[in-house]
Amino acid sequence: MTILVTGGAGYIGSVMVDQLLDSGEPVVLLDDLSRGHRGAVDEGLPFYDGRTGDRELVSRICREHDIESCIHFAALAYVGESVAEPKRYFENNVEQGIALLDALMAAGVRRFVFSSTCATYGEPVRIPIDEEHPQQPTNPYGWSKLICEKILEAYDHAYGLKYVALRYFNASGATERRGEHHEPETHLIPNVLLAAMGKLPFVSVFGDQYPTPDGTAIRDYIHVADLCTAHSMALDHLRRGGNSASLNLGTGQGYSVMEVIEAARRVTGSRIETRIEPARPGDPSRLVAAAEKAKKVLGWQAEWSDIETILCTAWNWHQAHPDGYL
């Protein structure tokens, strides 16, 4: 019985694959390499270079590998790009997501772990953000994920599909073998570290007039290894016959952009230049998770997600891979 990991050549998916293999779970990877890296996939693993929307291919994978569940990371995930090209986001994330689900269900696969996001909440009306917080995304990326959540809910009622939708806050950090390499890179921590390495002249700080103690935006950073552990626990929950659930993955602790940069200066010993830029439209001042529900339902708790550990692990990876996966 094998787990299909879509997006397994991406940042979080590649860590997930390592964790699953370490715990003795057979895996198959499906990734179109539109955003991922062949170098993030070990030689010899069953890897399919294809799209999640290719029903024929997904059906064949299910048949040939006796797939019992799917962890679905594959998606386009740039907020700004989704505003400029919403069609592409709804096609890739929603339309192809439906095709994937249809092919899985036709093959009898009924367990599904889905990468959702705190972007489904939109502008927070309260902090910390619990799972009952209104979901009103402010961009097509967030909508594409929320629509997928609603589809999963309806498929559970109608067809008995059992799922866990995991709403990540800010994925960050690295393992010894896998780290974050996006092109372009929009996430703060890799950009801070690239600046520390001299690969970027400065780090852009978007907005310094937020109603926060130092004026910069506050986010909840969660280590990629903790995220992946939660996926394994979500799968175990479904295997035990647990109900479908939507859960935040965060720590409940927020750090401002300037606090992250200060911590990165301590970890790297580098002077990291900053440049203040205008706040980006739709960027809330604070996004911090209420993390209790994942603990209650899965028994999950973040272990690696203090900011120093996140930065140290990411720094080690960046130093060992100065050009990422290239």
Ligand X SMILES: NC(=O)c1ccc[n+]([C@@H]2O[C@H](COP(=O)([O-])OP(=O)(O)OC[C@H]3O[C@@H](n4cnc5c(N)ncnc54)[C@H](O)[C@@H]3O)[C@@H](O)[C@H]2O)c1
Asked if residue 18 binds ligand X (CB under 6 A), the reply is no
Half-sphere exposure at residue 312, Cβ-oriented, CA atoms within 13 angstroms: 7
- Closer residue to ligand X, CB minimum distance, 74 or 264: 74
In the complex, least distance from residue 166 CB atom to ligand X, rounded to whole angstroms: 8
Among residues 2, 11, 133, 285, which is the contact residue for ligand X, using CB under 6 A?
A: 11
Among residues 18, 41, 71, 73, which is the contact residue for ligand X, using CB under 6 A?
A: 73
Backbone φ, ψ for residue 256 (5° rounding): -80, 165
| Three-class DSSP category at 189 | helix
Please, which residues bridge with residue 5 across strands? 29, 71
Catalytic residue among 121, 141, 168, 210: 141
Nearest residue to 176 (alpha-carbon basis) of 41, 315, 302: 315
Asked if residue 135 binds ligand X (CB under 6 A), the reply is no
Among residues 75, 94, 147, 257, which is the contact residue for ligand X, using CB under 6 A?
A: 75
Q: Is 159 a known active-site residue?
A: no
The tokens for 180 are 């974050």
Q: 13: how many CB neighbours lie within 10 A of its CB? A: 26
Q: Which positions from 21 to 60 touch ligand X by CB under 6 A, shown as an x/- string?
A: ---------xxxxxxx--------------xxx-------
Binders of ligand X in range 157-176 (CB under 6 A): 168, 170-171
Q: How many residues does the chain have?
A: 326
Asked if residue 268 binds ligand X (CB under 6 A), the reply is no
Asked if residue 312 binds ligand X (CB under 6 A), the reply is no
Q: Where are the beta strands (DSSP E) in the chain?
A: 2-6, 27-31, 47-49, 67-72, 111-117, 162-168, 170-172, 203-206, 218-219, 221-223, 245-249, 255-256, 274-277, 286-287
Candidates 6-14, 236-244, 287-295, 318-326 — which segment interacts with ligand X by CB under 6 A? 6-14
Residues known to be catalytic: 141
Residues in contact with ligand X by the rule CB under 6 A = 6-7, 9-13, 30-36, 51-53, 73-77, 92, 96, 115, 117, 168, 170-171, 182
